[in-house]
Amino acid sequence: MIELQKIKDAHNRIKDVVVNTPFSHAPYLSEIAGCNVYLKKENLQTTGAFKLRGAYNKIATLSAKQRECGVVAASAGNHAQGVAYSAAAFNTKAVIVMPESTPLTKIDGVKHFGAEVILAGTNYDEAYAYAKEYGEKNHLTFVHPFEDEEVMAGQGTIALEILDKCQELDAIVVPVGGGGLISGIASAIKAINPKIKVIGVSAKGAPAFKNSFDLKKPIDSMSVRTIADGIAVRDTSAITLAHALESVDDIISVDDEEIASAILFLLEKQKLVVEGAGSVGVAALLHHKLDYLKSNNVAVVLSGGNMDVTLLSVIIEKGLLKSHRKMKLTVTLVDKPGSLMRFTQILQELNANIVHIAYDRTSISLDYGDANVTVHMETKGKYHQQEIKEALVKEGYLRD
């Protein structure tokens, strides 16, 4: 494990730069999960994610000559912003290599702190390979996002802050990608109170670390695909895996549907914008993957909030459809004056609010003289939607 003193030293080093983020009880989530849930809101960190802790601690421990030459890093976004911010604080040049698919909001976030951005590779691992080669050619110090003791020590400071607020903790739930966050947190937790369970949550679309943990040896994935881009790591680090095998009690996984529902839950019920990677712990509790923690005091790390707005809009739209607050249906009408008015009048009488309507009379599946009308409506739940369908069946617009 990372030595506790190293984590305490990191905390003293970064405390004037890093925000001691809020740690608060989540009553509604606690009711659903059957345990006392507390959220550590690293989505409210200065750069929008916990990565600032490890990045700042690493750059702070470099020699003056290393800082003069500059640093390079590979990241899907959060580590990139942490390195860029930290380098700027030390007046150090920073070059960040990001995958070509990185959301614009994260690229702009890195550039805002004065770093140079290079887009290379289709995923983190390809960007990593490019960054390593680039650093060697240009004599830059590589700042690894997780496979570095100073970085892990910085991430472990989260555990110190949590235990300072909640001494009666029974378990802590941590997102897992490369394993740096959980390595640092688990090292601190087990050194202070070995009885506290440390549980990792990974994305099913990026299974390498969980598979490696289960089989107790490094196993890489052929590819990764998940909306939790912050933990979409293809290859397993032997170093962080060794830490996890020594100090982590369990690792479970959640799929993209579960992650999306957690993002929407945190937005609607907790008023928090949390990205996919940061939402996996809440997803595990919402979908009862951690029922063995019933009645326990459980801390959940919300690791970041740098959410791609385009993806968020899709998640919200799908969430409204799944929760029966939006409804889409298509009916066939006789293409003559008054047909559409009668159809919409029925919807008005049922208090369905039409937000979008499309009229198609050219589809080859239609008989001449007919038209398809597709409507998107705001509705008041499952029973309201059933009422609408029954009325349209009665009027002959839909089949039973």
Averaged in consecutive runs of 10 residues, what is the pLDDT profile of the chain (400 residues)? 96 96 97 97 96 97 96 90 96 94 81 94 85 96 95 98 96 97 98 97 96 96 90 92 97 96 96 96 97 95 92 92 93 91 93 94 90 94 95 86
Q: Which of 134, 103, 105 is nearest to 118 (CA)?
A: 134
Beta strand 353-360 pairing with 370-378: antiparallel
Report how far Cα 252 is from the mean position of its chain's Cα atoms. Answer: 15
24 counts as catalytic: no
CA pair distance 297, 203, nearest whole angstrom? 24
The phi-psi region of residue 30 (left if phi > 0; otherwise alpha if psi is between -120 and 50; otherwise beta) is alpha
Among 237, 247, 253, 303, the one annotated catalytic:
303
- For residues 97 and 72, is the Cβ–Cβ distance under 8 A? yes
pLDDT score recorded for residue 223:
85
How is residue 30 written in tokens? 């606690």
Among 6, 40, 51, 190, the one annotated catalytic:
51
pLDDT score recorded for residue 400:
64
DSSP 297: E
CA pair distance 10, 153, nearest whole angstrom? 6
How is residue 393 written in tokens? 């069946």
Identical fold, 52-142 and 324-394: no
Across the beta sheet with 326-334, what order do the strands follow? Answer: 326-334, 370-378, 353-360
CATH no. of 4-50+149-318: 3.40.50.1100
Domain boundaries, the chain: 4-50+149-318, 52-142, 324-394
* 364 backbone dihedrals φ, ψ, rounded to 5°: -70, -15
Element (H, E) at 244: helix 238-247
Measured in residues, the chain has a length of: 400
pLDDT score recorded for residue 262:
96
221 counts as catalytic: no
CATH no. of 52-142: 3.40.50.1100
Class of domain 324-394: alpha beta
Beta strand 36-41 pairing with 297-302: parallel
pLDDT score recorded for residue 101:
80
Hey, is 166 helix, strand or coil?
A: coil
CA pair distance 98, 130, nearest whole angstrom? 10
* 396 backbone dihedrals φ, ψ, rounded to 5°: 90, 10
Token pair 């945190």 in the structure block, residue: 266
How is residue 266 written in tokens? 């945190």
Hey, is 152 helix, strand or coil?
A: helix
CA pair distance 247, 253, nearest whole angstrom? 18
Interior CA angle at 144 toward 140 and 149, to 5°?
Answer: 115
Query: What is the sign of the dihedral through the CA atoms of 183, 189, 194 and 199?
Result: negative
Q: Which of 237, 310, 315, 305 is nearest to 274 (CA)?
A: 305
